[in-house]
Amino acid sequence: MPQPIRSQRTTDPSLPATTRTPTLAADPERTAPGSATGTEPGGGPGSATDDEPRVEPGGAQGSYRRLFAAPGALAFTAGNLIARLPMGMFSVSAVIMIAGSRGSYALAGAVTATGLAATALVAPWTARLVDRHGQARIAVPATVLAALGSLALLLCIRFDAPDWTLFAAYAATATTPNSGGMSRARWAHLYEGDPAALHTANSFEQAADELCFMLGPVLAAFLCSALFPEAGTLVGAILLLTGVLVLAAQRSTEPPVAPRARVGSPLRAKGMPALLTVFLATGAVFGSMEVVTLAFGDGPAAGAVLALQAGGSCVAGLVYGRARRTAGLVTCLAAMTALMSLPLLAAVGTGSLVAVAGALLLAGMATAPTMVTGMTLVQRLTPQGQSNEGMTLAVTALLGGIAAGSASGGWLVEHAGPATGYAVPVCAAGLALVLAGMTKARLS
């Protein structure tokens, strides 16, 4: 069930106005989506790559303790964390399982890329159904279908089925719902009109993403090596289904469904296509880094090394959630490009897995701020009532990039070696930076 993912925001005008908990602050000056101040380019809040730091309310307004005071917040967060943990397990489990049984990292990278590409195509339609019919009605059957795809994949590996069946089985996991997007939509529903609380909530969600990507690879590598190669995929499918069932049961915090009469796709929003190209390049950073690191570590230790990158991002996300000033997307991508060069220098210069692990820890610190900032911009551009679809389009772009990065990283590892493979995430981050700069200039 390919769906790593990473996303966020500081304000969310994308959901319809609803009755809020009386204790939550409302912002009477909140700008409606599509208004002149909400989506106009030229450095305004809707500018797709606004690089000016913004002042965020701090103190009690941004408290994590206050965040979970909302009724039902802890319950849906618990279910979502269970559902999200497998997102850090599936691709790692698939790479270990396929490369171990078929002896080819190129095949493993191609299979995971195919699954991610299929998810990129299917996910927006799943999200649209969620917006129209509600999370509980759509997420559960979609998850059941995805879990069946994972089971089919491990059976194909276990019984030595032809290579083409691996592509078909992994593509069948494309119905996996965007659990992170559903969680963020719930926060937006609970704290609508409170930008400080939403910034904190979205930073927490990014930290939660990274925590899952920190623990997921370690758990996957351990299960696949200590038990049997298919164990990571099997356990991940069980956790995913369990977590979605728990999340869907929390009906009190579920956002209301969008009206049947809908405007066009969020893709038509001004600035959205250009911003999604930046997400596409950014996704290639994540996909290539994962495959290259698994090849460089070539064993159970690789999962722990990947966990360090996610750990750095997790810490950065929590700190960023309490920050009064936030950087723009171009600034974040510049930092990511610089930091992503560290694993390449460590791998080529020392050949030491320990040195690469330390470099990945530092490199990961640019991930959370970049994703929080990028998804904030996505939400500002998303029309009202299309929250899940807008966020899923961003995730779709990331998945497309992850697929390309996974395939590119696997190819370079096969032809030039794992150390040289770390050049792919550096180039991908640089491309994202250039695209963000071009987008900013075009919309200003």
The total number of structural domains in the chain stands at 1
What are the tens digits of pLDDT across the range 102-147? 777 778 878 887 887 788 788 778 877 887 788 888 888 999 999 9
CATH classification at residue 216: 1.20.1250.20
Asked if residue 2 belongs to a domain, the reply is no
Buried b (16+ CB within 10 A) or exposed e, 147-173: bebbbbbbebbeeeeeeebbbbbbbbb
Q: What's the average model confidence in pLDDT over 295-313?
A: 77
Phi, psi angle pair for 4, to nearest 5°: -70, -165
Least confident of 187-201, 219-233, 347-361, 404-418: 187-201
Q: Over pLDDT 70: what percentage of the chain?
A: 78
Residue 440 pLDDT level (bands cut at 50, 70, 90): low
For the question of whether the overall pTM of this predicted structure is more than 0.85, the answer is no
Asked if residue 1 belongs to a domain, the reply is no
CA nearest to 405, candidates 309, 279, 319, 303: 279
CA distance 253 to 70: 9
Asked if residue 20 belongs to a domain, the reply is no
Q: What's the average model confidence in pLDDT over 13-34?
A: 33
Asked if residue 27 belongs to a domain, the reply is no
∠ CA 80-81-86, nearest 5°, is: 105
Task: Please provide the DSSP assignment of 152-171 as one string.
Answer: HHHHHHHTT--HHHHHHHHH
pLDDT at 167 over 50: yes
- What was the pLDDT predicted at 3? 43
Asked if residue 24 belongs to a domain, the reply is no
Asked if residue 277 belongs to a domain, the reply is yes
- What was the pLDDT predicted at 8? 33
Q: What's the average model confidence in pLDDT over 183-191?
A: 80
The parent domain of residue 284 ranges over 36-257+266-443
- What was the pLDDT predicted at 61? 43
Asked if residue 21 belongs to a domain, the reply is no
What are the tens digits of pLDDT across the range 373-398? 887 787 777 766 666 777 778 878 88
Asked if residue 293 belongs to a domain, the reply is yes
- What was the pLDDT predicted at 7? 34
Least confident of 29-38, 47-56, 365-374, 430-439: 29-38
- What was the pLDDT predicted at 6? 37
The strand ranges marked E within 276-344 are 325-326
The strand ranges marked E within 179-327 are 325-326
- Token pair, residue 38, equals 């909400």
Q: What's the average model confidence in pLDDT over 20-34?
A: 33
